[in-house]
Amino acid sequence: MGTTVFERRRPPASVVEHALKPTRQAVFWLEDLPEGAVGGRPKLTRTIVADLVVVGGGYTGLWSAVLAKRRNPGARVVLVEAKSIGWAASGRNGGFCESSLTHGDENGMARWPDEMPLLHRLGLENLDAIEASEAELGMDFHFERTGQLAPAIEEHQLEWLREWADEAAARGEGDEVVYLDEHEVQASVASPTYLGGVWEKRTNGMVHPARLASELARVAEELGVEVFEHSPVKRLETPGSTGAVSVVTEHGRVDATHAVLGTNVFPSLLKRNRLMTVPVYDYVLMTEPLSEQQLESIGWRDRQGIGDMANQFHYYRLSKDNRILFGGYDAIYHYGRRVRSGYERRPETWNTLANHFFTTFPQLEGLQFSHQWAGAIDTSTQFTAFFGTARDHRVAYAAGFTGLGVGSTRFAAETMLDLLERRDNERTQLEMVRKRPLPFPPEPAASIGINATRWSLDRADHNRGKRNVLLKTLDALGLGFDS
């Protein structure tokens, strides 16, 4: 087996130790919200009769509530959240708002090749709508339509990038998907690890994750949505004779005509979905703001989001105040599908990320990290969201976004509302929407399989990307594990 660039170019241990010394465990995005933007909403302590009840105060639920009120301003819409708005994945992700609805073209082509032109268009329209919503709904979530840079950091990845650019050119997208040679990519972002790159110019925007959630909640309430926090849902009831659905909390309930479930990584209220996702823990570091001199040393004037080409990939971006968020690489699954705050602390992963950061940007030696945090991603076997209805068409759900939910949750909200309204349109006719992926197996098979897959992905990164028998078998079955 070979070595990776991060093993060949390790920074001095003293550099990493100095950089991590002041770091504290806290989510930068949540701390960076305006005063009063977090919490303060009441608990549900009574019975409410509504047209639509939304479970979950992350992007999926918030977009569903906002779009439902825009479709039908007179409808009574109620949203219940177990903790506070945006506290989980929606408030702590990297802020990559991608147009892809399929976790990239390669995954989409492997699963829904005939639908990819439509999925590509719908994804771009969805991203355009998110960008336009800042002005249209009076929101500010620091949206920047920067595109995304995919650098090759190993020789074998250059061939993948050339194929990617050639395929885009054949589709007439040569101006939007640009191949950069070693000189060009390092002129764009000055990392000595970059051997080439592809810059997708239209398909990605950057957002402030927690501001997106808090702004959606504010707009929802201005539209008339009733939002309740600290009201975990205990069960879902659908009495057969009433044609209604009831969401029951410890101290209250909502009786509604329809329900939308946006619980994502947390255990589903529907038994049929209990094995459809697994929680995978992802870890990030955030630097202190860069000085003008430090910014000049790395270039990055186009402020693209960046994600490298490895199986165990890194993603990184600039914040509005010029901090660098640097995350990814490890994707950790814990036995039993549990979501626990204790899993958010993993010093060995943050040490690995810090090492890889200074391999990527050795000129930033001396820079320190201010924040470190983690969170669980709802991973599905098809790497992207699945959809459906239940309980005699009273309940709609979407989950399994696998790390690409910042943009696609809006599309999911539109789709769930379409399904509840029994609309027959481009969204509801998609095979991706009509057919469910295979579930993950129960324990202990899930843990054995996932950890064997993680080991195999790491081996592929050490062997010029060559996939072993396990990975080839999973590819053939349409199964997988990703962050």
* Res 332 pLDDT > 60: yes
pLDDT score, position 468: 76
| Average pLDDT of the chain to the nearest whole number | 94
| Distance from C-alpha of 42 to C-alpha of 167, rounded to nearest angstrom | 52
Split at pLDDT 50, 70, 90, the class of 304 is: very high
pLDDT score, position 470: 66
Instruction: Report pLDDT digits (tens) over 415-463.
Output: 999 999 999 999 999 999 999 999 999 999 989 988 888 777 777 778 7
Place of tokens 């860069």: 290
pLDDT score, position 199: 96
In percent, the amount of the chain with pLDDT more than 90 equals 84
pLDDT score, position 35: 83
* Res 68 pLDDT > 50: yes
Q: What is the greatest pairwise CA distance in the chain?
A: 69
| pLDDT (average), residues 79-97 | 97
Split at pLDDT 50, 70, 90, the class of 37 is: confident
* Res 397 pLDDT > 60: yes
Instruction: Report pLDDT digits (tens) over 98-115.
Output: 999 999 988 999 999 999
Instruction: Report pLDDT digits (tens) over 312-328.
Output: 999 999 999 999 999 99
Split at pLDDT 50, 70, 90, the class of 479 is: low
pLDDT score, position 483: 45
Split at pLDDT 50, 70, 90, the class of 241 is: low
Place of tokens 């919503």: 133
pLDDT score, position 474: 66
pLDDT score, position 471: 65
| pLDDT (average), residues 31-56 | 93
| pLDDT (average), residues 395-404 | 96
pLDDT score, position 171: 87
Instruction: Report pLDDT digits (tens) over 158-208.
Output: 999 999 999 988 888 878 999 999 999 999 999 999 999 999 999 999 999
Split at pLDDT 50, 70, 90, the class of 256 is: very high
